[in-house]
Amino acid sequence: MVLKRLHVSIWALALFGLPLFAQEGHGVTPADIQRGLLIYTSSCINCHGPDGDLISGVTLASGRFRRAQSDNDLIQIIQKGLPGTAMPPGAYTDDQASLLVAYLRSMSTSAKSTRNGPPGEPARGKALVESKGQCLNCHRIGNLGTVTGPDLTSIGGIRRLAEIETSLLDPSAEIRPENRPVRATVKDGTKIAGTLMNQDTYTLQILDSKGKLRSLYKANLRDYELLKISPMPNFKDKFTAQEMSDVISYLVSLKGLR
Amino acid sequence: MRRTILSLLALAATLAAQTPFDRLVNADKDPANWLTYSGTLDGQRYSRLTQVTPANAKDLELKWVLQTRAPAEPNSKYEATSLVSDGVLYTVQPPNVVVALDAVNGKIFWTYPYNPAPQARACCGRVNRGLAILGNTLFMGTLDGNLIALDARDGHVIWNTQVGRPEAGYSVTVAPLVVKDKVIVGPAGGEYGISGYLAAYSAETGKELWRFNTIPKPGEPGHETWENDAWKHGGGSIWTTGSYDPALNLLYWGIGNASPDWNGDVRPGDNLYTSSVLALDPDTGNLKWHFQFTPHDEFDFDATQVPVLADITWAGKPRKVMLFANRNGYFYVLDRQTGEFLLGKPFVKVTWANGLDAKGRPIRVGHSTPEGSLIYPENQGGTNWYNPAYSPRTGLFYIPSWLDTHSINTSRAEPYREGMPFNGGSATHEVPALRPGPTNKRLPELASGAIQALDPKTGAVKWQFKMMDVTDSGVLVTASDVVFAGGREGYFYALDARTGAPLWKAMVGGAVSAGPTTYAVDGKQYISIPAGNAIFTFGLR
């Protein structure tokens, strides 16, 4: 599912033409899109919103831009702003602006919300997250919870509604690279579980289930596996339709910093 | 019930905290880690690790290198001292990219690439001098004037507080200092006419808890040293980390130059608390004492050096002192309980003052002038923010020094305009101020660099290791009597702490502009140093 979606994104990018990367023969990778998302999250989301539709008449996720045809046009706007509008210039390098464009292009092929539930109530959702859902056993929201699962403090500001829905209803459908679970067995039989932070030919870097950063040397491991199944439970049957709406409305409301 | 669950969860997070404040206070007993900017709260940069010795330093070899993500921007410099906690090394690549990596193999766990707002002003390079840690939280100042708390385990932002307005020239380049439950920082911006302050923020929430105005406002003690309205844009910036004495519960911090830098005529008076060191109550921010090294500064002689706290024998009795090698070319010893001046002696050629009086006040003989005046030491000083070190074993104080340097200091009228440089003049000198050129063709007598070892009891230079070019490197000394430091030429050295004899050197291919860190993992000692656009880590073969 993840790969399919990314393939679609990359094809979409190919169809749009890629002058920004053409000179050096690069393509766009999922990591590029992730890095673009980080920039979008830190610099664009306050005005444009996670779905890119908060400014009247501007729908970034549509893949169509009134004042830009090519990626280079978009880069110019990102770097120089749009005089006479609220769009300010941004001090981005060409590389950073290109990553941002990669993310903007990927938005048009991301999933749209398909769920038709009752209206949700964020306050009830908060209570469910902190009690019945036991979400804070793995996740962190603000000061509460742990770091073994993804941080939800800003989840409503950095993930689109459809993505949050998918995570609750089909957690393994999309495991983002930054949330990849890993399991390893040391030669003495000790089991280690955690989240993959990095890897190379000889080592793995993980945040283990106790919240400790550590390197594992493959030569010392009996085996290890990067899991394609999320450790997160499926909440489809755990929450009623109303509860699911409440939880989603709460998560969407989490826009970050205190 | 719900409250109980939440309390338990919060408690679990607290119990898991890797670096409580007690650990910072007792960092000297925990030399495997480097938990504060200066290694210990006393600012000594003295490590009790002893695996690398004068005998075996020749066997040091490169263990790993971490390149920055991209070539540094022309005005970036890698100035951060790394922190190391339980095998994880935390560094800040310029300007504000935090990286957590395995201290043994250099592999990255996570990065936090903060992009400062375009309004950020940096007089002297897009730099950051490092992080602080408390519990599981890292603290970083940003070039656009913020203080950010990050989870040390995954780099997620916990809070973000504005310290000062970037459009008015306020930036935060200093490595914060944690004292108890507070994070202490202040803004740089002495070249933009800021009105400085040191402030404490709640480590938990980022809320400002106290603020001490380094340029006193009307009604505050010291305001009388500003004889007109120049205090409104008087400078007094913060850009190098202070130190802390837990027994006295006193926080010490060096304060930057007066603004405008070179034109003192427009700001008559001593201009407190510029070019001073402060002793503050860290719980309240109340001033206990101050000492001004350069009253009415006209040469950009910030007192932004690390106050080094040492317990030594003075006139036959134990005394709690502060060692302070100042940018103005004088080395000072102060009583850190009272601020009493004990000793002041030049460690480089000085012509702006003809000595110090009995209270340590300079006998001023030089001034900046419209036509320009030649002053030793040069604008960058006899030393600068480059970290000194003190060894209780050798009893020597080690400083990076610029020898025989001078500037032509020129004053001129310059109006204050928010966010614009407010220097009131300029300095011209033989040595590039902030970074080396590609080659060095200077006559040796016009400038050279050195690591100097001073005897704090007399101010005498016991030895000096000279380099052809000057040095922006910090110094580290270990309990096995090895000094580590580098210079602009791209060498990183191990020196004998008792004699200054070179024991080992590595060519790291770029200027060393940061302080070395030493730590141990699984019983092996490492020495790590940023240089150029990379960080290099060495250990024994």
Asked if residue B116 is part of any domain, the answer here is yes
Contacts of A154 in chain B (CB under 8 A): 157
Asked if residue B90 is part of any domain, the answer here is yes
Nearest residue to B86 (alpha-carbon basis) of B174, B16, B145: B16
Asked if residue B235 is part of any domain, the answer here is yes
Q: Where in chain A is the domain with CATH 2.30.30.100?
A: 181-226
> How many beta-carbon pairs below 8 A join chains A and B?
93
- Residue B297's pLDDT band, with cuts at 50, 70 and 90, is very high
- Residue B403, domain CATH: 2.140.10.10
Spatial neighbors of B248 by CB under 8 A, at least 6 apart, are B320, B336, B337
Q: Domain A181-226 is in which class?
A: mainly beta
- Residue B359's pLDDT band, with cuts at 50, 70 and 90, is very high
Q: Is B297 a catalytic residue?
A: no
Question: A136–B16: do the CB atoms touch at under 8 Å?
Answer: no
Over residues B261-273, the pLDDT tens digits come to 999 999 999 999 9
Closest approach of A137 to chain B, Cα-based (Å):
8
Q: Would you list the DSSP string of B517-533?
A: EEEEETTEEEEEEEETT
Asked if B8 and A130 touch (Cβ cutoff 8 Å), the reply is no
Q: Which tokens hold the place of B242?
A: 């202070």
Long-range contacts of B273-277 (CB under 8 A, 24+ apart): B273/B214, B273/B215, B273/B216, B273/B222, B273/B236, B274/B214, B274/B215, B274/B234, B274/B235, B274/B236, B274/B303, B275/B301, B275/B302, B275/B303, B275/B328, B276/B303, B277/B252, B277/B253, B277/B303, B277/B307, B277/B322, B277/B324, B277/B334
Spatial neighbors of A246 by CB under 8 A, at least 6 apart, are A120, A121, A122, A124, A125, A128
Question: A213–B156: do the CB atoms touch at under 8 Å?
Answer: no
pLDDT given for residue A110 in this prediction: 65
pLDDT given for residue A114 in this prediction: 64
Question: B153–A211: do the CB atoms touch at under 8 Å?
Answer: yes
Question: B109–A136: do the CB atoms touch at under 8 Å?
Answer: no
Percent pLDDT > 90 in chain A is: 40
Give the residue from chain A lying closest to B104, CA to CA.
A215
Contacts of A203 in chain B (CB under 8 A): 102, 105, 107
Return the H-helix or E-strand segment holding A106: helix A94-107
Q: How many domains does chain B have?
A: 1
* Residue predicted with more confidence, B1 or B346: B346
| Torsion angles phi and psi, residue B465, rounded to 5 | -105, 110
Asked if B356 and B342 touch (Cβ cutoff 8 Å), the reply is no
CB of A212 within 8 Å of a chain B CB? The answer is yes
Type of residue numbered A148: T
Asked if B476 and B518 touch (Cβ cutoff 8 Å), the reply is yes
Q: What are the distances in angstroms from CA B226 to CA A25, B328, B531? A: 62, 21, 41
Spatial neighbors of B404 by CB under 8 A, at least 6 apart, are B348, B349, B376, B445, B446, B447, B448
d(CA B331, CA B344): 5
Give the residue from chain A lying closest to B105, CA to CA.
A215
Is it true that domain A122-174+233-253 has CATH number 1.10.760.10? yes
Give the residue from chain A lying closest to B100, CA to CA.
A213
d(CA B375, CA B185): 32
Write down the number of H helices and E strands in chain B.
Answer: 2, 38
Nearest residue to B129 (alpha-carbon basis) of B144, B140, B121, B113: B140
Is it true that domain A2-107 has CATH number 1.10.760.10? yes
Which one of B13, B109, B115 has the shortest CB-CB distance to A213? B109
Residues in chain A: 258
Give the residue from chain A lying closest to B89, CA to CA.
A213
Type of residue numbered A107: M
Q: For residue B55, what are the domain limits?
A: 36-540
Q: Which tokens hold the place of B55?
A: 């005998």
Mean pLDDT, residues A51-68 taken together: 83
Contacts of A34 in chain B (CB under 8 A): none
Write the ipTM. 0.83
pLDDT given for residue B8 in this prediction: 43
Asked if residue B100 is part of any domain, the answer here is yes
Return the H-helix or E-strand segment holding A96: helix A94-107
Question: B154–A205: do the CB atoms touch at under 8 Å?
Answer: no
Which one of A145, A154, A212 has the shortest CB-CB distance to B9? A145
3-class DSSP state for residue B5? helix
Question: A205–B114: do the CB atoms touch at under 8 Å?
Answer: no
> What mean pLDDT, rounded, does chain B reach?
94
Asked if residue B4 is part of any domain, the answer here is no
Place of tokens 């004088």: B330
Mean pLDDT, residues B487-512 taken together: 97
d(CA B99, CA A18): 31
Over residues A245-256, the pLDDT tens digits come to 999 999 988 987
Q: Where in chain A is the domain with CATH 1.10.760.10?
A: 2-107, 122-174+233-253
3-class DSSP state for residue A248? helix
pLDDT given for residue A121 in this prediction: 93
